[in-house]
Chain A
Amino acid sequence: MPVIMYREAIRDALAEEMRRDPRVFVMGEDVAIYGGAYSATQGLVQEFGETRVRDTAISEMAITGAAVGAAMAGMRPVAEIMYVDFMTLAMDQFVNQAAKNRYMFGGKTTVPMVLRTEGGAGRCIAAHHSQSLEAWFVHAPGIFVVMPATPYDAKGLLKTCIRDDNPILFIEHKMLYNNKGEVPSEEYLIPLGKAAVRREGDDVTIASYSRMALRAEEAGKKLAEEGISAEVIDLRCLKPLDIDCILDSVKKTGRLVLASEAYKDGNFVCDVAMKVMESAFDYLDAPIERVCAANCPVPMSPVLEDEAIPRTDKIVAAARRTLGKA
Chain B
Amino acid sequence: MIQKVILPKLGETVEVSTIDRWIKNEGDTVTTGDILCEITTDKATLEVESYYRGTLLKILAPPGKELPVGSVIAVIGEKGEAIPEDILAQAGGQAATAGKEAPAEKAAAAAVAVAEAAPAVAAGRIFASPRARRLAAELLIRLEHVKGTGPGGRIVEADVEAAAKAGRSARAVRASPLARKVAEREGVDLAAVRGAGPGGKVMKEDVLRAARAPAAPAGPPVKPGEIVPLTAMRRIVAARMAESKRAIPCYYLDMDADVTRLVALRSELNAKGDGRISFNDFVVKACAAALRAMPAVNSRWVEGGIQRRGEVHVGVAVGLEEGLIVPVVRDVDRKSLRQVSAESADLAERARSKKLLPDEYQGGCMTVSNLGMFGVRSFIAVVNPGESTILGLGAIEDRVVFREGGIQVRKIMSLMLSADHRLVDGAVGAQFLKMIREGLEAPEGLVE
On whether A and B touch (CB less than 8 Å), the answer reads: yes
Closest Cβ–Cβ distance, residue B134 to chain A (whole Å): 4
B contact residues around A285 at 8 Å (CB): 129-132, 150, 156-157
Please tell me the number of chain A residues within 8 Å of chain B, measured between CB atoms.
9
- Interface size class of chain B, counting residues whose CB lies under 8 Å from the partner chain: 10 to 19
Please tell me if the beta carbons of A281 and B149 are within 8 angstroms of each other in the complex: no
Question: A321 CA to B132 CA in the complex, in Å?
Answer: 17
Interface residues as binary, A277-298 with B (CB distance below 8 Å gives 1, 0 otherwise): 0000111111000000000000
Q: Known contacts being A324-B149, A324-B150, is A284 close to B156, with CB within 8 Å?
A: no
Taking a contact as CB atoms under 8 Å apart, the answer to whether A324 and B130 are in contact is no
Identify A284's interface contact among B131, B149, B151, CB under 8 A. B131
Chain B residue at minimal CB-CB distance from A281: B130
Interface string of B281-316 (1 = CB under 8 A from A): 000000000000000000000000000000000000
Indicate if A254 sits at the interface (CB-CB under 8 A). yes
A254 B131 Cβ-Cβ under 8 A: yes
* Interface hits, B10-31 → A, CB 8 Å: none
246-304 of chain A: CB within 8 A of chain B: 254, 281-286
A288 to chain B, nearest CB (A): 11
Closest to B155 in A: A285
Residues of the B chain whose Cβ atoms lie less than 8 Å from the Cβ of A286: 129, 150-151, 156
Q: Which residue of B lies closest to A254 (CB)?
A: B131
Bound form: Cα–Cα A321–B149 in Å: 13
Chain A binding surface, main DSSP class: loop
CB distance from A287 to the nearest CB of B (A): 8
Residues of A within 8 A of B131 (CB): 254, 282-285
A324 and B133 form a contact (CB under 8 A): no
Quick one: CB contact mask for B111-136 with A, threshold 8 Å, 1 for yes? 00000000000000000011111100
Instruction: Point out the residues of chain B lying under 8 angstroms from A254, CB to CB.
Output: 129, 131, 157
- A-side contacts of B129, CB under 8 Å: 254, 284-286
How far is the CB of A88 from the nearest CB of chain B, in Å? 30
B156 touches A324 (CB 8 A): yes
A284 to B131, CA, bound (A): 5
Chain A residue, CB-CB nearest to B159: A285
User: Closest residue of chain B to A322, judged by CB?
Assistant: B151
A282 touches B133 (CB 8 A): yes
With CB as the reference atom, state the residue of chain B lying closest to A286. B129
Cβ contacts under 8 Å, B151 to chain A: 286, 321, 324
How far, in angstroms, from A284 to B135 measured CA to CA in the complex?
A: 11
Question: Taking the nearest CB of chain B, how far is it from the CB of A240, in angstroms?
Answer: 22
Q: How far is the CA of A284 from the CA of B154 in the complex (A)?
A: 13
Cβ < 8 Å to A, chain B residues 139-157: 149-151, 156-157
A254-B157, A324-B156 known; A282-B150 Cβ under 8 A = no
Residues of B within 8 A of A284 (CB): 129-131
On chain B, the residues within 8 Å of A324 by CB distance are 149-151, 156
CA distance A254 to B157 in the complex (A): 9
Chain B residues near A282: list those with CB within 8 A. 130-131, 133-134
A284 to B149, CA, bound (A): 16
A281: chain B residues at CB < 8 Å are 130
Give Cα distance in the complex from A143 to B134, angstroms.
38
How far apart are the CA atoms of A285 and B134 in the complex, in Å? 10
Roughly how many angstroms separate A27 CA and B30 CA in the complex, as a whole number? 61
A260 to B405, CA, bound (A): 81
Name the residue among B130, B134, B156, B157 with the largest chain A CB count within 10 angstroms: B130
Contact partners of A321 in chain B: CB under 8 A? 151
B134 contacts across to A, CB distance below 8 A: 282-283
How long is the Cα–Cα vector from A250 to B385 in the complex, in angstroms?
A: 29
How distant is the Cα of A254 from the Cα of B133 in the complex, in angstroms?
13
With A and B bound together, what is the CA distance between A324 and B132 in angstroms?
14
Mask: chain A, 10-22; 1 = CB below 8 Å from B; 0 = not: 0000000000000
- When each residue 147-171 of chain B gets 1 if its CB lies under 8 Å from chain A and 0 otherwise, what string results? 0011100001100000000000000
Distance between Cα atoms of A170 and B280 in the complex (Å): 55
Shortest B68–chain A CB gap in Å is 32
Chain A nearest CB, measured from B362 CB (Å):
12
Q: How far is A286 from B155 in the complex, measured between Cα atoms in Å?
A: 10
Residue on B nearest A253 in the bound complex, by CB? B131
Question: CA A284 – CA B133 in complex, angstroms?
Answer: 10
What are the interface flags for A308-326 relative to B under an 8 Å C-beta threshold, 1 for contact and 0 otherwise?
0000000000000100100
The minimal Cβ–Cβ distance linking B360 to chain A, given in whole angstroms, is: 13
Kindly name the residue among A285, A321, A324 whose own CB sees the greatest number of chain B CB atoms within 10 A.
Answer: A285
**Assembled-state Cα–Cα distance A126/B158 (Å):** 45
Residue in chain B with minimal CB distance to A326? B151
28 contacts between A and B (CB under 8 A): A254-B129, A254-B131, A254-B157, A281-B130, A282-B131, A282-B133, A282-B134, A283-B130, A283-B131, A283-B134, A284-B129, A284-B130, A284-B131, A285-B129, A285-B130, A285-B131, A285-B132, A285-B150, A285-B156, A286-B129, A286-B150, A286-B151, A286-B156, A321-B151, A324-B149, A324-B150, A324-B151, A324-B156
Q: Which 6 residue pairs of A and B lie closest in terms of their CB atoms, listed nearest first?
A: A285-B131, A282-B134, A285-B129, A282-B130, A285-B157, A254-B131
Contacts A285-B132, A286-B156 known; list 7 others, CB within 8 Å.
A254-B129, A254-B131, A281-B130, A285-B150, A285-B157, A324-B149, A324-B151
